[in-house]
Structure 1
């Protein structure tokens, strides 16, 4: 599963390529939801390595939704619930980047390199 590669295409591509990237991204998130199951974290009741590795992607969701015109929560509610639960942890909330600032940075990058 390549969450990064396919998710990057959501904001760097258009048309059919972007539509395919969106489908693959949601498919990847659904696989993560399957692994999560009904647990609070990927390690069950314990916040662990997999959670630490994946939670930084959450601050990218606003960018993916905005450029890709999609609603991740509608497709993958368990992932959003998991992310919100992770954000309640002080260590996570203090370390994640601001989603709107990240979007502005990506927008500036796209403009600088002509990726519009």
Structure 2
């Protein structure tokens, strides 16, 4: 049934984008085949610029000629547009609201804080380093004793939202001395378990690729 419904799905993304990786994980979890288009963000395609004229960013999902943008919106759209596939969001309205809150937390806190760390060196790193430690502990507290953030539902919306950033964990340690295994061991174990899922392992870059990318970016910015 999914094979009939997913005709015309095209994902415009970049292999290094954690936001695009979310969409790839969601598509794989739902068993939805699609065309993948790798975007050169230094020379964005006309298709990307036409599909997302407001932000001109990836990821973009095209479905039957219609455009959906923003990664968390794309994942929610896939849940709603393909009800015959495995749901990533909980059915209960309250639990759905909680899942959306924590996915938003990932974007505002994990990505937001990491982005600030990437842009500084020396003493200015101290406050964002302390903030990142607090963020990781907060996420570990939310995970609690559950196998996945999705709880009884299993691997779900928050797991999809956070997992691409788990490949950044090694860089947190190598660049800034924030060892996730020491700060939030349950969260580190969760990440290792998620990597065993085919949908995850085939969608993500390796931690080394992420570190090399960050290192090169910082050099280009004159930070290292």
- Counterparts in 2 of 1:1-116, with a 5 A limit? 1=105, 2-45=109-152, 46-116=154-224
Deviation at 1:103, TM superposition (A): 1.0
Higher relative contact order (CA 8 A, sep 6+): 1
Q: Which structure 2 segments of 5+ residues have no match?
A: 1-104
**CA deviation map 1:55-74 (0-9, x unaligned):** 00011111111110231111
The answer to whether the 8 A contact 1:11-1:68 is kept is: no
**SS in structure 1 at match of 2:151:** coil
The answer to whether the 8 A contact 1:11-1:64 is kept is: no
Q: Which structure 1 segments of 5+ residues have no match?
A: none
Aligned Cα root-mean-square deviation (Å): 1.3
More strand, by proportion: 2
Report the more deviating stretch, 1-10 or 94-103.
1-10
**CA deviation map 1:12-68 (0-9, x unaligned):** 222332121111011011111111110000111410010000000011111111110
More helix, by proportion: 1
Size of the aligned set, in residue pairs, is 116
In our comparison, the structure showing a higher alpha carbon Rg is 2
Relative to the length of structure 1, the TM-score reads 0.92
Relative to the length of structure 2, the TM-score reads 0.49
CA distance in 1: counterparts of 2:162 and 2:178, whole angstroms: 20
The answer to whether the 8 A contact 2:133-2:178 is kept is: no
